[in-house]
Amino acid sequence: MKKVVLFIVLLTVQIHAQSPQASSGKVQRIDNFKSNYVDSRNIDVWLPEGYSDSQKYAVLYMHDGQMLYDASTTWNKQSWEVDEIAGKLISEGKTKKFIVVGIWNNSQKRHPEYFPQKPYESLSPTQKDTITAQLQKAGRTKEIFQPISDLYLKFLVIELKPYIDSHFATLKNKENTIIAGSSMGGLISMYAICEYPEVFGGAACISTHWPGTFSSENNPIPNAFIQYMESHLPNPKTHFLYFDYGNKTLDALYPDLQKKVDALMQKKGFTNANWSTQFFDGKDHSEKSWAERFHIPLQFLLKK
């Protein structure tokens, strides 16, 4: 478990080295993007081969943006290989044409920015104290834990998306606006499509960190997420959701919790047409594992 926690801590390290080099298309960096809601951060926008202002492109927003494209610039020398995977799918006609907006995480504020705020606020004071204690033990906070994900989503929706839509050739409607991430990034992607269903038409929640902390014992968070989703999931006739999980390292915490989410999805009317949950036996919690299967959610959420 110590190695797992170290993985999460190191994932938040900001890599201020050179811009990532794309193996397909190109990456355009927006340095130090300013916000009235959250701290400034870099944004790395991937554009496919042949990108032209004369066309319009769907947009995939992704969290942990410094981990997406170039393994030589990441802390663990792994990446999602998003540029290579997306470029191949587009060139083969397996998805619509799209760009990727990689939003850098913000170091030690990653956990509060990505932690769904309204489910947390539904907890009792005693339950919140339990969560703070678990996160302090894991080294995720030194103070009383307080999510700021509502501000993070305002940053995405009110500031970043309008900027992207005004500076790139995008399709602006929800049908062509997707959000994706892994681990805590999976949680905030779920939260985004629930809070802003008029903005995001699809979400990919990969190795979703349903425990919220790093312990399954005496943890009220998973049930709080379920209760929140029961009343906030978007319309299954107009929205698409993808979940997946492995069963090694941190992903070993997820199988039973994901099954509860799957039961709720069925209850709320989601079918194979607009919802997919995939299990990857033997796969761990790493960019290498996510890169191996990232073509699956892309084809599901960005099909022509």
182 domain-assigned: yes
287 domain-assigned: yes
Query: At residue 8, does pLDDT exceed 70?
Result: no
244 domain-assigned: yes
pLDDT in the model for residue 222: 98
Percent of the chain clearing pLDDT 90 (strictly above) = 84
143 domain-assigned: no
Lowest mean pLDDT among 132-136, 148-152, 172-176, 240-244: 132-136
Task: Please indicate whether residue 15 or residue 286 has the higher confidence score (pLDDT).
Answer: 286
Name the pLDDT band for 75 (thresholds 50, 70, 90): low
pLDDT in the model for residue 10: 46
pLDDT in the model for residue 293: 97
224 domain-assigned: no
pLDDT in the model for residue 77: 73
pLDDT in the model for residue 217: 85
The encoded tokens of residue 99 equal 């760009």
136 domain-assigned: no
pLDDT in the model for residue 9: 47
Closest CA to 21 of 50, 44, 51: 44
52 domain-assigned: yes
220 domain-assigned: no
Closest CA to 68 of 88, 57, 84, 90: 84
The encoded tokens of residue 232 equal 């906030």
Round to whole Å and give the CA distance between 70 and 79: 6
Query: At residue 93, does pLDDT exceed 70?
Result: yes
Query: At residue 182, does pLDDT exceed 90?
Result: yes
User: pLDDT tens digits for 185-213?
Assistant: 999 999 999 999 999 999 999 999 999 99
Instruction: State the residue range of the domain holding 180.
Output: 17-108+150-210+233-301
Instruction: Assign residue 262 the CATH number of its domain.
Output: 3.40.50.1820
Number of domains in the chain: 1
Averaged pLDDT for residues 214-239: 96
What is the residue whose two structure tokens read 């989503």?
A: 153
Mean pLDDT estimate for the chain: 93
Q: How many residues does the chain have?
A: 304
